[in-house]
Amino acid sequence: MKVLVAVKRVIDYNVKIRVKADKTGVETANVKMSMNPFDEIAVEEAIRLKEAGAATEIIAVSIGPQACQETIRTALAMGADRGVHILTDQPLEPLAVAKLLKAIIAKEAPELVILGKQAIDDDCNQTGQMLAALLDWPQATFASKLKLGPAEAVVTREVDGGLETVAIKLPAVVTTDLRLNEPRYASLPNIMKARKKAIDQTTPAALGVAVTPRLVTLEVKEPAKRASGKKLGSVGELVEALMSEAQVI
């Protein structure tokens, strides 16, 4: 069974985000970048499926500028077999990403596609669902447990009311939640091996997909800073302060 995993290059989650001076976006120059944490979970799950004998090949796909090859190399060092890089400098929206992944899936014919449930830079949580709709495949989002059979996958999902277990026929799209697994660190020997693994490169034009953004960002602003707290001397003062706040609201 072939498994395809999508990996995105984002600002590292430990970095404090800074808005550009012209308010057109966030600052990415000289900022540490890394693989989206939810995508790391997706790669780890694919590797575990291969180690269990349920998968035979893992393909890591990334879309973006040349630097995205570093993200693919990270996936290869973790245990993916080969990579596909769709080269573009255009800002990408979830629908464009889903269409590009669909084009790669048509070429590679995987039986399972695993994506992070969302990227930490835009938090859209849309690509997996859009991809499943475009492919007309079953989907299981927010997966916290995945068991793969020969013709179906049994997925435990994180939902508002707790957990939900569903069985979906393959091929299918699964998006990962935080509790699915703990991603491994790439060992030095595997990092060295990853340098020799193949990365195929293509472009949106070669795949016949238009990626021109449909949305225009008017302005990016930092969240308003929290007001400082107050120390009150009695319950009466607290009640009076709360009533005053309620009147303002």
* pLDDT value of residue 248: 54
**Burial class of residue 125, CB neighbours in 10 A (0-12, 13-18, 19+):** middle
Structure confidence by residue, pLDDT tens digits, 84-101: 999 999 989 999 999 999
- 247 pLDDT exceeds 80? no
- 65 pLDDT exceeds 90? yes
Written as one letter, the residue type at 98 is: A
CB atoms within 10 A of CB 168: 17
Q: Chain-centre distance of CA 7, in angstroms?
A: 6
CA distance 178 to 149: 23
Domains of the chain, each with CATH number or no CATH: 2-223 (3.40.50.620)
**Burial class of residue 83, CB neighbours in 10 A (0-12, 13-18, 19+):** buried
CA distance 202 to 88: 9
Residue indicated by tokens 């039986």? 111
Written as one letter, the residue type at 181 is: N
Structure confidence by residue, pLDDT tens digits, 177-192: 999 999 999 999 999 9
**pTM (2 d.p.):** 0.86
In terms of pLDDT, which residue wins out, 26 or 130? 130
Both structure tokens of 32? 């540490």
Structure confidence by residue, pLDDT tens digits, 4-58: 999 999 999 999 989 998 988 888 888 999 999 999 999 999 999 999 999 999 9
Question: Between the ranges 34-38, 119-123, 221-225, where is the mean pLDDT highest?
Answer: 34-38
Residue 81, sorted as left (phi over 0), alpha (psi -120 to 50) or beta, turns out to be alpha
pLDDT band at 231 (very low <50, low <70, confident <90, very high): confident
